[in-house]
């Protein structure tokens, strides 16, 4: 069965205003109902001895001047009898009675109190000290006398319907969006009804109380079961069609009607017994969703935030509010705390909207939410100051605006920087990092690698892959899950998946910034390539001239010189020249093992000519190493000089050459026996200074060591860093 809705024709801003209007009207109606209750001006709190401690006496109230804060009320004197006052609605959960008989007794207590207040001209209070005070309750409660907790709960509970409205506005085609909106509105019905009960002074007329509890039961029952329905649909649909929705809604309607009309008494508790079982069922659904979202990181992240937002507050409420009631104990978390904890679900969804982009809500809703929070902050401070300081409204409003300004704007700035730091980072802030990445790149391959590294650094994607298809411009795919970026050479493309480790989706700003960075990177690559081409052309020309002129003369000289040593020196110079010419024409790094093979062939020939036994050692880990041509040439000359010194001055029987890799350094070890003298006695001109100079130019280290007799050997140990 397909699920579709027509696209809303009302602008999102108007939807938000409509929800705010609904909230305001609901609060006004609830406040009006409170004003219809009788008023004594006494605010009390329950004690362990089933008495009521007076917290405050409102000025100009019927009890003003007759009772004082700190006194303890024992009960009411009615027709010569003492009517004990139980801990009433402000300290007692009206949904707590475990049986229908206990609930009927609770209703009867409210009826008795109602008759005591309405059927006598005066109400006589008795304190624990025996003092009796007769007063006439006012027929209506002034608006200013409504407890501040009622207004504060009203402000706090606005979070849930606002989040639901925002999500539904942008995703009206998804079942989960509708279920979330229904959940938030039903919870708001429960919260407003509960706040009205909490704000009641001593009692509530039984008929009004029954209707209030019906609203509470309806709101929280349906809101709770909608959690199950939402998690069956997100992030992966576990069932098809709407049969599950209608099934759980029907069951919830029967359960609520049974509670209200008292048909069948459920074991354990007539109301709260269902919630531990519902919690376990939802945990099972989350486990199924975890299996469904395996290897799907974005969906798994969405599930995590949904599960945390829905389940953690409910776990606290069930553990500290529901279980004590089921055990016949007073709840550890009272009504006010429970209402505030329920709002953690909406707060968790807000975090999910910003961090995980649930339901693909656009970023500008964050500004709308901050605007609402700013208004709520001013209103909350205004109500608090009026209650605490009893000041005039115009003074209080001015103070509220000033205090809210000092609190709201720094908090807003901190939240924006904390929650969405990347969206607030200017493109110019990333240019130094891009410049650093591309600064030492020389070849096209290196530039492409550094471009990929820059993309990873900029967006922290969960995954990046190379696409064979050509992409001319940066664009979004899969509703922002992927960002396809052209390569510098436009030969292929890079696909980035899951911005910020799948915490966010890519957006149009990312496309714009990436295009700008791509332009800068291409300009740097093209400029470097042009410069490198000019350098290589000039180098080739010079090297060809050297080879044609100096090389020819060296070759002629090697045939004319009578001394064999001199002829060997000339041949070595000619080999160095040819190697220099060859390597100077290469721009990209080469495999180290290929050059080691050439060096081994050269040294083996020289050792054989000198009748010296050669021992060669080579680390297998060097197979994956590469060196740039300049460093290859330097290492070649160092090795050639070390071998020449050994063959020429020591006249050895054995020559050992070894290559090893350690700590990202290339270790070159040349060892020989023969005519040995300690290094400190060596004279200048043996090539030692040349070796030291070249090793220092490479940022390496060199050591000359002489072993003790009788088998004395000279070892030259050279270590140079590997740099590609």
**Domain ranges (residues) in the chain:** 36-145, 148-361, 363-419, 452-526, 591-724
Residue pair 181/164 in contact (Cβ under 8 Å)? The answer is yes
- pLDDT for 720 equals 92
- Tokens 């809210």 correspond to 404
Tokens, residue 402: 């000033």
Cα gap 534→537, rounded to integer Å: 5
The residues, any chain, with a CB within 8 Å of residue 89's CB and separated by 6 or more, are: 197, 198, 200, 203, 204
Give pLDDT tens digits for 435-481. Answer: 888 888 877 888 889 999 999 988 888 889 999 888 889 988 876 77
Residue 504: CB partners within 8 Å, gap ≥ 6?
355, 356, 357, 422
On whether the CB atoms of residues 353 and 498 are closer than 8 A, the answer is no
pLDDT at 549: 60
3-state secondary structure 321-365: HHHHHHCCCCCCCCHHHHHHHHHHHHHHHHHHHHHCCHHHCCCHH
pLDDT score, position 358: 41
Long-range contacts of the stretch 217-220 (C-beta < 8 A, 24+):
217/95, 217/256, 217/259, 217/260, 217/271, 218/186, 218/189, 218/190, 218/256, 219/186, 219/187, 219/188, 219/189, 219/190, 219/191, 219/193, 220/186, 220/187, 220/190
Element holding 485 (H helix, E strand): strand 482-486
What is the reported pLDDT for 525?
86
The answer to whether the CB of 702 falls within 8 A of the CB of 679 is: no
CA atoms within 13 A of residue 408's CA, in its CB half-sphere: 20
- Residue 660 confidence (pLDDT): 93
Q: Are 361 and 353 in contact (CB under 8 A)?
A: yes
Tell me what pLDDT residue 419 has: 52
CA dist list (Å): 408 to 371, 412, 599: 10, 6, 72
Q: Which of 449, 668, 633 is nearest to 543 (CA)?
A: 633
Tell me how many degrees the CA angle 635-638-642 measures, rounded to the nearest 5. Answer: 140
- In whole angstroms, how far apart are CA 127 and each of 54, 69, 92, 677? 10, 12, 21, 112
**Residue 607, CA atoms < 13 Å, CB-side half-sphere:** 21
Q: Report pTM.
A: 0.57
Strands of the sheet containing 654-662, edge to edge, are 613-618, 654-662, 665-672, 714-721, 701-706
Give the other-Cβ count within 10 Å of 569's Cβ.
17
How many angstroms separate the CA atoms of 479 and 409, rounded?
32
Between the alpha carbon of residue 724 and those of residues 434, 587, 721, the distances in Å are: 20, 11, 10
Closest Cα to residue 613, out of 565, 679, 674? Answer: 674
Tens digit of pLDDT for each residue in 379-432?
A: 556 556 655 666 655 666 667 666 666 666 666 666 655 555 555 556 777 888
Name the pairing type of β-strands 123-127 and 72-78: antiparallel
Helix, strand, or coil (residue 40): coil
404/410 Cα distance (integer angstroms): 10
For domain 591-724, is the CATH number 3.40.50.720?
no
Structure tokens at 72: 């303890």
Low-confidence ranges of the chain (pLDDT < 50): 1-2, 4-5, 90-91, 353-366, 368-369, 372, 724
The end-to-end CA distance of the chain, in Å, is 60
- Report whether the peptide linkage leading into residue 710 is cis, meaning its omega lies within 30 degrees of zero: yes
Can you tell me the distance from the alpha carbon of 77 to that of 116, in angstroms, rounded to the nearest whole number?
Answer: 9
| Cβ–Cβ < 8 Å for 584, 629 | yes
> Is the bond preceding 562 in cis, omega lying within 30 degrees of 0?
no
The label of the residue with tokens 């040439």 reads: 633
pLDDT in tens, 318-359: 888 888 888 887 787 777 778 777 777 766 665 554 344 443
156 CB contacts (<8 Å, ≥6 apart)? 339, 340, 343
pLDDT tens digits for range 602-634: 888 888 888 899 999 998 888 888 888 778 888
Residue 481 per-residue DSSP state: T
Percent helix, strand and coil across the chain, each rounded to 5? 60, 15, 30
Strand partners, 662: 665
Contacts of 278 (CB under 8 A, 6+ apart): 224, 225, 228
Question: What CATH number was assigned to the domain covering residues 36-145?
Answer: 2.30.42
Angle at 239 between CA 234 and CA 243, to 5 degrees: 115
pLDDT score at 348: 64
């Amino acid at each position: 069965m397909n699920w579709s809705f027509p696209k809303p024709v009302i602008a999102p801003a108007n939807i938000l205003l409509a929800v705010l209007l609904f909230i305001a009207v609901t609060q006004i109606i609830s406040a009006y109902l409170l004003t219809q209750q009788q008023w004594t001006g006494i605010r009390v709190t329950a004690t362990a001895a089933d008495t009521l401690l007076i917290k405050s006496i409102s000025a100009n109230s019927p009890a003003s001047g007759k009772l004082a804060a700190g006194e303890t009320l024992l009960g009411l004197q009615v027709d010569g009898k003492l009517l004990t006052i139980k801990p009433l609605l402000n300290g007692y959960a009206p949904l707590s009675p475990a049986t229908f008989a206990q609930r009927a007794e609770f209703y009867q207590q409210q009826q008795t109190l109602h008759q005591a207040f309405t059927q006598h001209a005066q109400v006589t209070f008795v304190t624990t000290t025996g003092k009796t005070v007769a007063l006439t309750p006012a027929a209506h409660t002034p608006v200013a006398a409504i407890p501040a907790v009622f207004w504060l709960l009203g402000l706090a509970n606005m979070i849930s319907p606002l989040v639901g409205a925002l999500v539904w506005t942008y995703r009206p085609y998804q079942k989960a969006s509708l279920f979330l909106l229904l959940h938030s509105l039903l919870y708001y019905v429960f919260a407003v009804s509960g706040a009205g009960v909490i704000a009641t002074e001593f009692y509530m007329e039984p008929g009004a109380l029954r209707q209030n509890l019906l609203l509470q039961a309806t709101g929280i029952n349906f809101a709770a079961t909608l959690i199950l329905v939402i998690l069956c649909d997100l992030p992966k649909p576990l069932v098809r069609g709407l049969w599950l929705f209608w099934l759980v809604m029907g069951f919830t309607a029967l359960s609520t009607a049974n509670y209200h009309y008292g048909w069948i008494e459920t074991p354990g508790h007539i109301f709260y017994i269902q919630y531990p079982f519902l919690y376990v069922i939802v945990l099972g659904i989350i486990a199924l969703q975890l299996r469904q979202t395996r290897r799907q990181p974005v969906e798994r992240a969405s599930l995590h935030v949904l599960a945390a937002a829905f389940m953690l507050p409910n776990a606290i409420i069930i553990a500290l509010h529901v279980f004590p009631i089921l055990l016949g104990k007073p709840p550890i978390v009272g009504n006010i705390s429970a209402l505030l904890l329920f709002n953690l679900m909406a707060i968790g969804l807000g975090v999910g909207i910003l961090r995980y982009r649930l339901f693909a809500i656009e970023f500008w809703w964050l500004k709308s939410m901050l605007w609402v929070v700013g208004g709520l902050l001013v209103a909350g401070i205004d109500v608090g100051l009026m209650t605490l300081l009893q000041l005039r409204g115009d003074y209080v409003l001015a103070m509220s605006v000033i205090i809210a300004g000092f609190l709201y704007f720094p908090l807003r700035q901190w939240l924006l920087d904390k929650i969405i730091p990347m969206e607030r980072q200017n493109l110019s802030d990333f240019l130094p990092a891009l410049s650093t990445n591309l600064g030492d790149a020389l070849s096209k391959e290196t530039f492409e690698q550094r471009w990929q590294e820059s993309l990873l650094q900029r967006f922290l994607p969960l995954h990046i892959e190379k696409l064979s298809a050509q992409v001319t411009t940066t664009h979004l795919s899969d509703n922002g899950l992927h960002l396809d970026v052209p390569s510098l050479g436009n030969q292929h493309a890079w696909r980035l998946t899951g911005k910020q480790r799948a915490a966010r989706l890519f957006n149009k700003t990312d496309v714009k910034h990436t295009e700008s960075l791509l332009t800068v990177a291409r300009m740097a690559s093209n400029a470097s390539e042009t410069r490198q081409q000019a350098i290589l052309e000039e180098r080739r020309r010079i090297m060809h001239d050297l080879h044609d002129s100096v090389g020819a003369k060296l070759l002629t000289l090697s045939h004319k010189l009578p001394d064999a040593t001199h002829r060997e020196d000339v041949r070595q110079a000619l080999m160095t020249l040819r190697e220099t010419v060859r390597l100077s024409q290469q721009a990209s790094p080469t495999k180290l093992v290929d050059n080691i093979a050439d060096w081994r062939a050269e040294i083996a020939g020289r050792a054989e000519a000198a009748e010296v036994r050669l021992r060669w050692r080579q680390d297998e880990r060097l197979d994956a190493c590469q060196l740039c041509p300049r460093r290859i040439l330097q290492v070649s000359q160092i090795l050639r000089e070390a071998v020449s010194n050994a063959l020429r001055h020591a006249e050895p029987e054995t020559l050992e050459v070894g290559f090893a890799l350690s700590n990202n350094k290339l270790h070159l070890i040349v060892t020989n026996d023969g005519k040995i003298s300690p290094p400190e006695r060596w004279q200048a001109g043996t090539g030692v200074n040349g070796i030291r100079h070249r090793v220092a130019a490479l940022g390496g280290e060199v050591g000359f060591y002489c072993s003790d007799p009788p088998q004395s050997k000279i070892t030259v140990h050279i270590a140079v860093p590997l740099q590609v």
